[in-house]
Amino acid sequence: MGDTYITGMEAAGGSTCICGQETRDEVKTCKRCLRGQHRSCLLQAFYMPNYECPQCQLEQLEPYQRVLQTLIPASLVQTQGSGVGPRYFTYSQEVHQMVYAKERKRTVQIRSIRLDRSGFEQIWAKACQVIVNGAEIYTASSDLGAQHSRAMLVLSDLQPDSSVSVQVLRQRLDDSYAFAVFLVATLSPAEALAALVQENRVMTIEQGREFVQAVGVSTDLDSLNTRLSLRCPLTQTLPRLPARGTECKHVKCFDLEAFVVLQESTRTNRWRCPVCGLAVLRPVLDKYYAAIVHKAKSSQRLRRVEFLSDGDYHLLGDSSPLPPVSKRHRSAYTPPSKRSKATDSNSRYLYGY
């Protein structure tokens, strides 16, 4: 992940788990970093398909804020009175220099995720405190709106060459959370796009074809996946970099560049697929879809596609009717009242027809 990327997992007392302890509990291995986590520490997340460990999830929460260095690796948020002490990191001269470097914005950031759900979303526990060097820098009461818990905290005014203690405590024993402290670089839209493309998650033509067959002609056959507009729901033009999320179950793609640029001005519900509303932090580029778009470009008229049960397709004119969007896709969206203005103004494009 870049030349200055250093992992801090080794600091966790020999164990790579968020609990930092060596136990005999069954271990689940992360498909991204191959580190193990205990079943008892992960709860339901242990059974999630496409599992990635809390450390990997925390690292990938915000593509505009790229993790350069782990200062405190993913750690369990403790309940008050558990007797577990704070975690520490050294705020070195080197890190301090990076934070103050002019050409790039660098910050020390605390992030938190909920472990019981499919993660990849910044969220603080409902009633929690973040204590840095003994001082409370953040308190979330249980009645705070969701908006407040979506912010990653920035640690500023740290003393160079000092040891910094960080403790995240929650009052209620409901969900399970993990936090981590990172040195991050703020990227420009072009850099964020380049970093995502560089990760090289690509569906080959053959895989793209199989995907069409799998999602379009499965038992929960969805008309959205058999006949659709090729236009990006964000730009209303043919996508240059057709992509969707790793969890998306629809054929329709959006343009990755337009999507990344849009997130910069979006404050809430960021990195949500404009087609289905699921989190898209690790977009996959679809070469099959790109080939179809390329073919459609040969004509001013062909902007729609119909897929056949074998994954093959034929192009249709812009005026041929499309089926209505299914309820299943609609329900993945947050209600309009919870959307930001930026998202709202784009909502008429979201279904794109």
Binding site for Zn ion (CB under 5 A): 17, 19, 30, 32-33, 38, 41, 53, 56, 248, 273, 275-276
Buried b (16+ CB within 10 A) or exposed e, 82-105: eeeebbebebeeebbebbeeeeee
C-alpha distance from residue 234 to each of 8, 136, 185, 192, 203 (Å) = 38, 41, 27, 18, 21
Give least dist CB 29 to Zn ion, A.
9
Report d(CA 223, CA 326) in Å as an integer: 7
Contacts of 328 (CB under 8 A, 6+ apart): 220, 222
Find the shortest distance in angstroms from Cβ 17 to Zn ion.
3
For Zn ion, give the closer residue by CB, 91 or 307.
307
Based on CB atoms, which residue is closest to Zn ion, 155 or 253?
253
Instruction: Name which of 276 and 316 has its Cβ closer to Zn ion.
Output: 276
Q: Decide whether 76 or 193 has the Cβ nearer to Zn ion.
A: 76
What does each C-alpha distance from 6 to 94, 273, 277 come to in angstroms? 13, 30, 33
Of 155 and 224, CB closest to Zn ion: 224
Q: Note whether 81 and 57 are within 8 A (CB).
A: no
CB of 208 to Zn ion, least distance (A): 15
User: Closer CB to Zn ion, residue 32 or residue 267?
Assistant: 32
For Zn ion, the closer of residues 32 and 96 by Cβ is 32
**CB of 91 or CB of 254, closer to Zn ion:** 254
Asked if 35 contacts 29 with a C-beta cutoff of 8 angstroms, the reply is yes
**DSSP assigned state of 219:** T
Distance in Å, CB of 146 to Zn ion, minimum? 21
Question: Is residue 143 exposed (0-12), middle (13-18) or buried (19+ Cβ within 10 Å)?
Answer: exposed
- Strand pairing report for 162-170 and 78-79: parallel
Question: Minimum Å distance from CB 65 to Zn ion?
Answer: 18
> Roughly what angle, to the nearest 10 degrees, separates helices 341-350 and 256-265?
150
206/180 Cα distance (integer angstroms): 39
CA distance linking residue 289 with residue 272, whole number of Å:
20
CB of 352 to Zn ion, least distance (A): 12
Q: Min. distance of Cβ 249 from Zn ion in angstroms?
A: 7
CB of 35 to Zn ion, least distance (A): 5
Report the distance separating Cα 321 and Cα 175, nearest Å.
46
